[in-house]
Structure 1
Amino acid sequence: MSFVREGATGADYAASRHFDCRSVPKDALMKTSQRLSMFVRATLAAGVLAHAAAAHAEFPDHSIRLIVPFAASGTTDLAARLVAEFAGRELGQTIVVENRAGAGGSLGMEQVARAQADGYTLGMATMSTHGTNPVVYAGRLRYDPIKDFAPVSNVATVPSVFAVHPSVPAKTMQEFIALAKAEPGKYTYASPGTGSLGNANVEHFAALAGIQLLHIPYKGGGPAMNDAIAGQVNAITDNLPSALAHIRAGRLRALAVLGEQRSPMLPDVPTYVELGYPQMGGGGWFGIVAPAGTPKDVVARLNGAIHAAMRQPEFITKMEEAGATLIPGTPERFGEQIGEAIQRYQRAAKIAKFQVE
């Protein structure tokens, strides 16, 4: 307490109230300073967290881009545009589809991996980009299929089909295997390119069946299919939706389907599993990924919007017409599926030795 003499001036009173820090022990001053510093840091941190939480709560507040690492055609592109349309409605923002084709899908995925992890850049991951490419181009990819991405949701699985030109005297896969064994290296097959999913699948099957086929790589699935139906090559493997019209028209003959079960579109064509090759596994898939580090609440918001889109009748109908089976799931399950695909093709590569040098 401070006492002021009677008649003292205001200045005298102020002086009597003046705090002299020299009278306070140094350790007390240090503790006070430390407490103040901790308070300031805590206040700033709380402000940053509150700002981040508010930003996430408002997600999305502008348009989102969805990168498709292939040309604007086919089932993957169709699925991306359906997701963009219906999930965009759910989110209240426009989702813009951008096709960034090249290097078997690797170029587009590189862009996704290096984008800002805020949920505003997404990518369409496929069995090629996240299954075969990491194995076929081991050590050469500019992205890690596991570490560089945050899985959001799987979307669909699509069977592929192995088909031959009608000039090939084989009505069944067993007959084709017999022909190929009788004349090793005579029969050719087309693929969208060296190291493609089609190339990997056929080489895997050929190794399991003990046959030797001559690979004819093309620059894309379109040119490969054109030569297959023209009889320039003996066989081709492709997504069922892309080959179905040619099979129904008699321009190709389907011998086997790569999928979990027979396709209702080709109910008389057996799966590889039925033919005695369970190692071939199921068909291809595609789903949505974001850059690694994308906030979990943003991933959850996107996952919910995609699932809501996949429940729309128009979405379901168009995907079924394309031969796809919808497989919505959690981000965790999609991450597991990506890991399983890599392991599957690592085993296949050891058998078929199809790694590109």
Structure 2
Amino acid sequence: MNRRNFLQAGALCACSAFDAAVRAESYPSRPVQIVVPFPPGGTNDLLARMVAQSLGEQTGGSFVVDNRAGGAAGSVGAQAVAVARADGYTLLLGNTASLAINQSVYPNLRYDPQRDFEPISVIGSSSLVLVVNSKVPARNVAELVQLLRTSPDKYSYASAGAGSPLHLAGKLFKYRTGTEMLHVPYRGTAPAYTDLLSGRISVMFDNTTTAVQHTRAGTIRALAVTGAQRSALFPEVPTLAEAGFKDTEILVWFGLVAPRSTDATITGRLSKAVASSVKDPETRRRLLEFDIELWGSTPEDMRRFMASESAKWKAVVQRSNIRLE
């Protein structure tokens, strides 16, 4: 390359960098879509709408929730964002499944969370709760573990579907405690609860917000929560670590990501806006009803967290030999 061409190339690079900086500085200049890969009404949808409102207030822009349900555990919406333009105008509000589990469970998945997304922020997380039918003769986790070790063929656990976080939570629990239970997958939590309440199924890991109504009715018993701290909905129920079982922390978490190569100025600005929004007392009060602990992480912290979560669940999936189409 001669000197003239070198200088021209340098000028083009400088102009491109300048244009990118200008676009980032004026962002957002048009509506931003936050894709939720699930139907309206769920926790993902609720969080997305709260985040959209807060980001709009802080940036002066317009953020619109776009529900794109379909595919395996939200894969349609996640895939759409993975191939979208990296201009900051299409974002994904994903969760544990779409950002840390699916790539290990579904070998034909058409996106890789760590390769195809730029992290923005982990918005928050919630524990699961380990529950048993009220007739199961176990008042704590130690007694349940003893039952499972004594009669490994007698007890089974339900989940909302094969490859779901609830399924893998049961697998991780079995591996950490050296126990056996038959897994029975259902198409959603409603039919799973039908059999849990009737006693056809003995054990289940579930979201705290769903389980609490049944524990209050006395039809099921909560033995432990899976987070590092006790749940606001189950303050009297110990964590698995408090019950004596280490390395069993299981979180359902929610995060905001952008397509790969989105300008760091944009992701950084959005991350700071999320961090500011989660400090709002009214936001925290509203999400406490859903037992969600707000985080507001940096992009770098989210990248590390996603890698750690992906590695943890990949090990469980491989050990369990789970492969779904």
TM (norm. structure 2) is 0.90
Q: Does 1:108 align with 2:77?
A: yes
Where does residue 156 of structure 1 map in the other structure?
Answer: 124
Distance 1:229 1:60 in 2: 49
User: Given the alignment, which residue of 118, 139, 154 partners 2:87?
Assistant: 118
Distance 1:211 1:45 in 2: 59
Sort the Cα spacing of 1:225 and 1:124 in 2 relative to 1 into closer, same or farther, 3 A: farther
User: Given the alignment, which residue of 174, 181, 184 partners 1:206?
Assistant: 174
User: Given the alignment, which residue of 333, 342, 347 partners 2:301?
Assistant: 333
Task: Trace 1:1-357 onto structure 2 (pairs within 5 A).
Answer: 35=4, 45-101=13-69, 102-137=71-106, 139-349=107-317, 352-356=319-323
Q: What displacement does 1:71 show?
A: 2.9
- SS of the residue 1:304 aligns to: helix
Q: What displacement does 1:43 show?
A: 5.2
CA displacement, residues 53-106 of structure 1 (integer Å, 9 cap, x when unaligned):
222211101111111222323333222221111112212222222223331222
Q: What displacement does 1:212 show?
A: 2.1
CA contact (8 A) 1:132 1:200 kept: no
- SS of the residue 1:261 aligns to: coil
Q: What displacement does 1:342 show?
A: 1.4
CA contact (8 A) 1:74 1:242 kept: no
Q: Structure 1 stretches of 5 or more lacking a match?
A: 1-30
Distance 1:114 1:128 in 2: 19
* Count of equivalent residues: 322
Sort the Cα spacing of 1:212 and 1:121 in 2 relative to 1 into closer, same or farther, 3 A: same
CA contact (8 A) 2:120 2:299 kept: yes
Distance 2:80 2:288 in 1: 30
- SS of the residue 1:96 aligns to: strand
Q: What displacement does 1:260 show?
A: 0.7
Q: What displacement does 1:110 show?
A: 1.2
- SS of the residue 2:97 aligns to: helix
CA contact (8 A) 1:195 1:354 kept: no
Q: What displacement does 1:44 show?
A: 5.0
- SS of the residue 1:89 aligns to: helix
Alpha carbon RMSD of aligned pairs, Å?
A: 2.2
Distance 2:287 2:314 in 1: 30
Output the amino acid matched with 2:202: N
Sort the Cα spacing of 1:38 and 1:207 in 2 relative to 1 into closer, same or farther, 3 A: closer
CA displacement, residues 147-194 of structure 1 (integer Å, 9 cap, x when unaligned):
111000111110000111213232222222233333323222211111
Q: What displacement does 1:332 show?
A: 0.2
CA contact (8 A) 1:71 1:77 kept: yes
Instruction: Give the share of equivalent positions with the same residue, in percent.
Output: 36
CA contact (8 A) 2:54 2:277 kept: yes
Sort the Cα spacing of 1:133 and 1:151 in 2 relative to 1 into closer, same or farther, 3 A: same
- SS of the residue 2:114 aligns to: coil
CA contact (8 A) 1:163 1:255 kept: yes
Sort the Cα spacing of 1:161 and 1:354 in 2 relative to 1 into closer, same or farther, 3 A: farther
Q: What displacement does 1:238 show?
A: 1.1
Q: What displacement does 1:39 show?
A: 6.1
CA contact (8 A) 2:87 2:262 kept: yes
CA displacement, residues 4-61 of structure 1 (integer Å, 9 cap, x when unaligned):
xxxxxxxxxxxxxxxxxxxxxxxxxxx9xx64x6666555555444333222211101
> Which 4+ residue blocks in structure 1 deviate beyond 6 angstroms?
none
Distance 2:13 2:99 in 1: 38
Q: What displacement does 1:230 show?
A: 4.5
TM (norm. structure 1) is 0.83
Q: Considering only CA atoms, is the larger Rg found in Structure 1 or Structure 2?
A: 1
Distance 2:143 2:11 in 1: 76
Q: What displacement does 1:122 show?
A: 0.8
Q: Structure 2 stretches of 5 or more lacking a match?
A: none
Distance 1:243 1:74 in 2: 15
